[in-house]
Amino acid sequence: MNAIPDRRALQLPLERFDVSDPALYQDQSYFAYFERLRREDPVHWCAESRFGPYWSITKYKDIMAAEVNHQVFSSELGGIQVLDQPRDMQRPSFIRMDPPKHDEQRKVVQPIVAPGNLANMEPLIRERTRQVLDGLPRNEEFDWVERVSIELTTLMLATLFDFPIEERRKLTWWSDVAIADVTDPEAPVRSEEERFAELKQMAEAMGRLFEERKARAPGFDLLSMLAHGEATREMPLREFMGNLALLIVGGNDTTRNSMSGGLYALHQNPGEWDKLRAHPALIPNMVSEIIRWVTPVIHMRRTASRDFELGGKAIRAGDKVCMWYVSGNRDPEAIEEPDRFIIDRPRARQHLSFGFGVHRCVGNRLAELQLRILWEEILARFERIEVLAAPKRVYSNFIHGIRSMPVRIPG
């Protein structure tokens, strides 16, 4: 790991700042870089990086300005990450589209997260959460990520797709493959070709289920919705692959890392644990604070469709523009005492972790529901959960991932 110590952020000339370095997120040394960028150069040009030149937007208000201006800041003209996918391996999906096509496809899957459907799903989510928590060992070290975060989010995903429950870990695998940085020695795939081959297998397996659902009356799962949706039922294979990967990653990694990161945040802030135990009604507010604190998606990228001035900087048509949510969520001009984890923070939901504008996370209410139920059920059974070591983090500048975190539940 090629980690740069924090103090370099104070000494390095701004023109040498490159916040796209995944090591900064693996070793959590990014904070000081963004603090300086927000103060001295909030819309920053990085002329040279492994991913080519790019702009960084680091302040809350500038990120919002880009989010709501999809005419200028396009999701379709380039990728959604600072990393460009090789052209012949691109997998279009609605997160990589601009309106109107984006809106038509998004509308197809939206009903799965409608309030009525979430209410219907709540008992099942609770039941599964209880089973997973009741199956945990006592007085014994185990990995929270593996036993709780991955298991719960994967069960959820299998439900959303009506995917065979006993094969659910395939979904976890495909999600990990879809987001891996192929240069990470621990990545599940080591080249774009390998990634493409794995995701093709995913599309084939899901394709069989898709055809089955198409032949049946419309059901209330994501595959059935895609199979019957007017804007999606005739999707070409690559677009099918892209939309599947989007829904699998969207619903998996992000919530998974909030489940792990939230427990770690409470461990680091024992006063907040006490507050939570004394006031369990704070759980919904705490869930929002966890999602801000963890910021599961590090950045999203747009591509400028025309010349545009932002924060006094001249962005040119075709430029890559990254919105760093990890920075906007720690901007003191928008969030009071942003470097403190406060479970009863006022207006906790005003964070950037779900993005904003036309691409604002489809699954935000579902993610909150899963996390709320998890914490309700944790409080109902465990007095304490001891975190035994700092989490091991993923080498990525896109997903703020926790690979493992050893814990013990006394009892």
Q: Which is nearer to ligand HEM, 9 or 112 (CB)?
A: 112
Burial 381-404 (b: 16+ CB within 10 A, else e): eeeebebeeebebbbbbbbbbbbe
For residue 383, what are its two tokens?
Answer: 């007095």
Please identify, using beta-carbon distances, which residue of 26 and 288 lies nearer to ligand HEM: 288
For binding to ligand HEM (CB under 6 A), which residues are involved? 67, 94-95, 106, 113, 246-247, 250-251, 254-255, 258, 291, 296-297, 300, 353-357, 359-363, 366-367
SS3 (DSSP) at 249: helix
Encoded tokens for 217: 């009356």
- Greatest C-alpha distance within the chain: 63
- Beta carbon of residue 369, minimum distance to ligand HEM (angstroms, whole number): 9
In terms of CB distance, is 106 or 147 closer to ligand HEM? 106
Nearest distance in Å: CB 242, ligand HEM: 11
To the nearest whole angstrom, how small is the minimum distance from the Cβ of residue 367 to ligand HEM? Answer: 4
| Cα–Cα distance, 47 to 146 (Å, whole number) | 39
Coil, helix or strand at residue 364: helix
Smallest distance, ligand HEM to C-beta of residue 160, A: 6
As a whole number of Å, the end-to-end CA separation of the chain is 38
Q: Considering beta carbons, is residue 26 or 243 the nearer one to ligand HEM?
A: 243
The nearest distance, CB 296 to ligand HEM, in angstroms, is 4
Q: Which residue, 29 or 353, is less far from ligand HEM as judged by CB?
A: 353
Strand partners, 407: 142, 387
Phi, then psi, of 333 in degrees rounded to 5: -75, -20
Q: Shortest distance, CB of residue 300 to ligand HEM, whole angstroms? A: 4
Min CB(95)–ligand HEM separation in Å: 4
Q: Nearest 10 degrees: CA dihedral of 50, 55, 58, 64?
A: -130
Residue closer to ligand HEM by CB (options 142, 356) is: 356
- Write the secondary structure of 207-234 as one string of H (helix), E (strand) and C (coil): HHHHHHHHHCCCCCCHHHHHHHCCCCCC
Q: Closer to ligand HEM at the Cβ: 9 or 75?
A: 75
Shortest distance, position 104 Cβ to ligand HEM, whole Å = 11
Looking at the Cβ atoms of 207 and 357, the one nearer to ligand HEM is: 357
Q: Which residues make Cβ contacts (< 8 Å) with residue 295, sequence separation at least 6? A: 325, 326, 329, 351, 352, 353, 400
